[in-house]
Structure 1
Amino acid sequence: MFKPLKTLAALAVAGLLASPLAYAAPESGWWWNAAEGGRGFAIEVQNGKMFIAGFMYDDAGRATWHVSGPTPMVNDTTYQGNWMQYGGGQTLTGSFKPANVVNNNTGSLTIKFPTPTTATMTLPNGNQIALTRFAFGGASNTVGNVCTPANLTAQHYDAIAYGMTMAQVKQTIGCDYDPTATLMLNNGAMSYYTWRVLIPGTSASYYVINVFFDPSGSIVSDVYGGKYPGKEYFKTSSLNLVR
């Protein structure tokens, strides 16, 4: 049974009150949502400014480019700007032809980076998608077999987003789930995975992150099937994560 610590005093005695987090800048490179292959984003951060270019398709299936920046970031973990659409430019083998601005404002863009390799992007229509830094030849973060208190933090918890793959969640938290705490819910319609670690100095109190996936355990899903829109019921915690 999980027994969250109840008071700040108890946390202080356990030596677990966290110092302010030192945030690292987002990693430059290619970003994507592994559940939505075919669309990706190149992100570059230099001197507090960010540039992003996205490749995707229009409703007719034609490839399009949208860019934003370089614009100063709001802070180390947040970018806000506007998308611009380009077209009519250089072909692979043709003579040089400069691209034209098709639309100088196709909508607003907000990206929050809870960690240097994970992000949540808010699109112009308000929809949000989870992004991770694409890792060539393997994950850019080391995923340990056993969790430590450094893995189960509020920062990592906040970075888990609807639509992430199991690999993305493991990379975000930095360790593997506890196989003894895996359950099937809703008559087999959902799977429930638990990341946990015993709080140092205790015998039965844990830091816990629970995440709900589809039946195959592949994609983070809403265990309530959208019954409570706007609320993050696809994940829960022991409410005593290090902050």
Structure 2
Amino acid sequence: MFKKWAALGLLAAVGVAHAFAPQSGTWVVTSELNGKPGRGLAIDVQDKTLVMQMYAYDASGNATFYLTSGTFSNNQYSGTLNKYRGGRYLGSGDLTGQDNGNDGTVSMRFESGTKGYVKFPGEQEKEITRFNFAYGPNPQSLKGLWLLTPLISSAPQSDFVDLVEELGPSEYGNGMVATKDNRFGCDNLVRGPNAGWVMCVKLNASNQLARGYFFKYAVNDGEGFTGVTSTTIDDMLIVRRLTNSSDDGTGVVLKNADTQEPASPAALRKAFEQIAQ
């Protein structure tokens, strides 16, 4: 069993001082997330450029589209909140949207890849978060292909695992999900000193602990720590979900494993004969 460890303190211990980009996707004003129509943000950062699209409303209640873009530096952004009118509508012919002025300056700062703060014109600063609407802290959310990569200088080795088997909860979790050979398993921790994190363990050929993992993730990406004993879980870890529970790829390459039609036995036999000649 892993000992209690100060997870956030380890971030400082390993000397993390790099700037980071917020996760691309849908963001919400945290205090306004109530299940009803409201304001939403689409944020994307590529290299040093941030683009933020926002759907909101004007003083008369009309839906309004905003766009801001510019340089993202030191986890912060500030730019003009532009608005537009006269663009193409459903069923129309070719129409080009026109600049309709701006409502002032919007500024953002981020303290992680999934949490930040925004200050809209005429408003106080508000917290914003990456909107996670599909994955909850449950066993089903852990199913699929994962790539776990320790950031260590000595013999780095990634684990590429397919979590498919539900094994019931561990002592501190709510439902372990494992590979078919039961040599790698993960669980959402809901009790104990590390509640709120995902914990994974890897067994060696002798069924002994080979490595442990702790991480937090949002949608398809995560970060955390890994180590080979209960007292050395201090190496940085990068995590990526490659497929969801339906085996649909989450990136730009992998597709559903069942989309390819099976070949006929005759075609397979013919291929053997071609090579054997």
State the TM-score, normalizing by the size of structure 1. Answer: 0.49
The structure whose RCO (Cα within 8 Å, separation 6+) is larger is 1
State the TM-score, normalizing by the size of structure 2. Answer: 0.44
